[in-house]
Amino acid sequence: MIRTLVIGFGNAYRRDDGVGYAVLNALRGRLGRPLLDADDDGYDDLGHPVDTLLLHQLVPELAANLAGYELVVFVDAHMGTIPEPIRQEELTACYRAATVSHQVHPCTLLAMAQELYGHSPRGILLSIRGHDFDFGEGLSPETQALVPEAVDRLLALAGSAG
Amino acid sequence: MGQKITIEPITRIEGHARVTINLDDAGKVEHAYFHVDQFRGFEKFCQGRMFFEMPAITPRICGICPVSHHLASAKACDMIAGVRPPRPAQLLRELMHMGQFIQSHSMHFFHLASPDLILGFDADPKIRNIVGIIEANPGLALKAVKLRKYGQEVIRTLSGRRIHPKFAVPGGVNKALTAQERDELLAPIDEMIGYMQEGLALAKQWLGANQELVQRFANFRTGYLGMVDADTGAVQLYDGPIRLIDRDGKRLEQFDGTRYLDYIREHVEDWSYLKFPYYKKLGWPDGVYRVAPLGRLNVADCISTPIANEEFEKFKAISKGPVEPTLYMHYARLIEDIYAAERARELLEDPDILSTEIINESTAITGEGVGVIEAPRGTLWHHYWTDENGQITQVNLIVATGNNNWAMCTAVDSVAKEFIDGKNLTEGMLNRVEAAIRAYDPCLSCSTHAIGQMPLVVEVRGSDGALVNRVQRG
């Protein structure tokens, strides 16, 4: 069976930026797995056909994890500059600038996995439209309403991968 | 016709940065501005919380230095609870802090700074990045990943989490270290120090070979501020008084960091949300200072660990007064990286590190607490006020990036004036401006990072606002 990793990332204290967390737990619920609290990254619960990780942001050492999978789906919020409520984008393994921050772009992680560990999985960015990025917990109703469809897409991707 | 160049990494305003460069009619830089948003929203967000929740909440400010916020917050909460943690808890907190320094400093040098140094400021941006470094020197890149992973492993071992630790609590910590965990953290330290020494050698070689550029690149005078050991004047990252020196290296103050309001004031400019801290007695702008590695090494008398101290002495020999050029920040950062690893070893070899006496209980509520710590990118203050029940009524944060605000603005202005030609704008010119900011390692990740943010954009606009030139990448 082809192994899949779903990475939800964002800041759960910035409302819709935490949609990755909401989608990840909704997915875990559909898979019959216990939910993660907002501070639990999920590293202690790897080893399933569909694994999940919850992160504040993407970091370079993730490249080693990626190399062990055939499919990696990154789940994040997107802003109004992207018209679709949910966008599914095939990623290429290449460097993408993060300017002055320690953050790493998903494409960069894929490239690092290829260069450092000899294998880059298929990468997909599943992004969900956010409406409210203010300080606070909980999603806006508009973004919350997109969570079930995002989970459906993840399950379809994982199923097709499997 | 005057022109304006805007370097805007992202379109969202929260916590992000933008550079605006105004050109005169001849295409020369008149002035360049570095704008950053601030954490006031987060301060408001914390009001109404119970004080003991703060060490768990505040790491959410930042995905890069959550441990620094966690520990500064815990120190503020110790003060509110009127209790000092037992020695083993202090050692364990400091050990976690060293893990944070190792992961952050290593990440910065190998992933953010080294592409400029190894591949060149003017190299094609398609290769001037970490992936290009891997292709140019795969061994070095792998070591960089191992270094960051080791730092994260220290944090994970202590708190059970790689990010957003819930380890330090008012009066101590909530988990002791086992002998097996200690041994596993001790085993790779020599290897890690070796990697850091390779990075330091690379930085020193580059700085030596590029002295003409180093002296031209954001080289300006300021005061310096950082934490020191009260007895020896050695670099301190977790606990100690704050020392402030002037532009000539003369000591101005050495004060208890909890009394920062007696010494530090914040200036406001109408073009940036981020305030500009300065030394009150010298006033604005004479009282501006720099923090972070350059600040800490410039104020200190020595480093308490042998390898880092040997490098510290060489660093200090560069100048009779403070070491000023911005690019020396990379040199200082790697010395601190080595110190963090050596200090981690000292802490792990301390017999008290395995003690289970890790908390002093308290039911007191003093109503106010200040926690100060050296975060990787500079001095960090958390200041909380509570009501009689311990509910937060007010929060004041002075974050490390804020302390370097004036320096980053000055560095951007200086580099823009030195290297930008508005009529023949190139990516390499833009990259030098970014590199000036990068050297200070500002932390802007308090914000969101939603997809759809604009890539890095440089816009040249005429005085009438019309777009004259535009450079975009990412």
- What pLDDT digit, counting tens, does each position of B151-197 carry? 999 999 998 876 677 899 999 999 999 999 999 999 999 999 999 99
A27-41, A118-132, B157-171, B441-455: least confidently modelled range? B441-455
Are residues B430 and B343 part of one domain? no
What is the domain extent for residue B150?
84-219+325-357
Residue B229 has pLDDT above 90, yes or no: yes
- Distance, in angstroms, between B234 CA and closest chain A CA? 28
Pick B107's closest partner by Cβ from A97, A100, A102: A102
Q: Chain B neighbours among A 128-157 (CB < 8 Å)? A: 130, 133-136
What contacts B262, CB < 8 A, 6 or more positions away? B255, B280
- Distance separating the N- and C-terminal Cα atoms of chain B: 30
Mean pLDDT of B296-320: 98
| The pLDDT value given to residue B451 | 56
Distance CA(B357)–CA(B369), nearest Å, equals 23
| The pLDDT value given to residue B315 | 98
Q: Answer yes or no: is B310 within a domain.
A: no
Asked if the C-beta of A31 comes within 8 angstroms of chain B's C-beta atoms, the answer is no
Output B298 or B165, whichever has higher pLDDT: B298
| The pLDDT value given to residue B456 | 41
> How do strand B368-375 and strand B378-386 relate by DSSP bridges?
antiparallel
pLDDT range class, residue B403, cuts 50, 70, 90: very high
Residue whose C-alpha is closest to residue B322's, from B369, B252, B387: B252
Contact B161 A55 (CB under 8 A): no
Are residues B181 and B103 part of one domain? yes
Are residues B13 and B155 part of one domain? no
Q: Answer yes or no: is B272 within a domain.
A: no
Output B314 or A1, whichever has higher pLDDT: B314
Distance, CA of B446 to chain centre: 13
% of chain B surpassing 70 pLDDT: 88
B118-132, B166-180, B254-268, B328-342: least confidently modelled range? B118-132
pLDDT in tens, B128-156: 888 888 888 888 888 988 999 999 999 99
Are residues B100 and B24 part of one domain? no
Contact B450 A77 (CB under 8 A): yes
Contact A135 B129 (CB under 8 A): no
Q: What is the CATH number of the domain that holds A27?
A: 3.40.50.1450
| Cis ω for the linkage preceding B285 (within 30 of 0) | yes
Q: Answer yes or no: is B373 within a domain.
A: no
| The pLDDT value given to residue A58 | 87
Q: Chain B residue closest to A14 (CA)?
A: B448
Residue B388 has pLDDT above 70, yes or no: yes
Contact A102 B135 (CB under 8 A): no
Are residues B12 and B160 part of one domain? no
pLDDT in tens, B52-74: 999 998 887 776 788 999 999 99
What is the domain extent for residue A47?
4-161
Mean pLDDT of B213-239: 97
User: C-alpha distances in angstroms, B101 versus B108, B172, B260, B358, B447?
Assistant: 10, 21, 23, 23, 21
Chain A contact set for B132 (CB, 8 A): 95
Are residues B415 and B340 part of one domain? no
Q: Answer yes or no: is B46 within a domain.
A: no
- For chain B, give the mean pLDDT: 88
Q: Answer yes or no: is B394 within a domain.
A: no
Chain B contact set for A107 (CB, 8 A): none
Distance CA(A40)–CA(A24), nearest Å, equals 12
In a 13 Å sphere around the CA of B1, the CA atoms on its Cβ side amount to: 12
What is this model's ipTM?
0.86
| The pLDDT value given to residue B138 | 85
Residue B461 has pLDDT above 50, yes or no: yes
Residue A74 has pLDDT above 90, yes or no: yes
| The pLDDT value given to residue A133 | 84
Q: For chain A, what is the domain count?
A: 1
pLDDT in tens, B35-50: 765 455 778 889 999 9
Q: Answer yes or no: is B269 within a domain.
A: no
Contact B444 A101 (CB under 8 A): yes
Pick A100's closest partner by Cβ from B131, B145, B444: B444
- Distance, in angstroms, between B103 CA and closest chain A CA? 10
Mean pLDDT of B103-119: 89
Residue B444 has pLDDT above 70, yes or no: no
Mean pLDDT of B20-48: 78
Residue B458 has pLDDT above 60, yes or no: no
Q: For chain B, what is the domain count?
A: 2
Residue B412 has pLDDT above 80, yes or no: yes
What contacts B359, CB < 8 A, 6 or more positions away? B85, B86, B89, B169, B171, B172, B173, B174
In degrees and rounded to multiples of 5, residue A76 shows phi and psi of -145, 170
Contact A100 B17 (CB under 8 A): yes
Residue B241 has pLDDT above 50, yes or no: yes
Are residues B447 and B331 part of one domain? no
Contact A112 B138 (CB under 8 A): no
The token pair that represents B275 in the structure block? 């305030």
Asked if the C-beta of A97 comes within 8 angstroms of chain B's C-beta atoms, the answer is yes
% of chain A surpassing 90 pLDDT: 64
Q: Answer yes or no: is B423 within a domain.
A: yes
Residue B237 has pLDDT above 90, yes or no: yes
Distance CA(B270)–CA(B468), nearest Å, equals 26
Residue B443 has pLDDT above 70, yes or no: yes
What's the full length of chain B, in residues?
474
Distance CA(A116)–CA(B291), nearest Å, equals 35
Residue A162 has pLDDT above 50, yes or no: no
Residue B464 has pLDDT above 70, yes or no: no
- Distance, in angstroms, between B38 CA and closest chain A CA? 12
A:B CB pairs within 8 Å:
162
Q: Answer yes or no: is B152 within a domain.
A: yes
Contact B60 A11 (CB under 8 A): yes
% of chain A surpassing 70 pLDDT: 94
Chain A contact set for B166 (CB, 8 A): 39
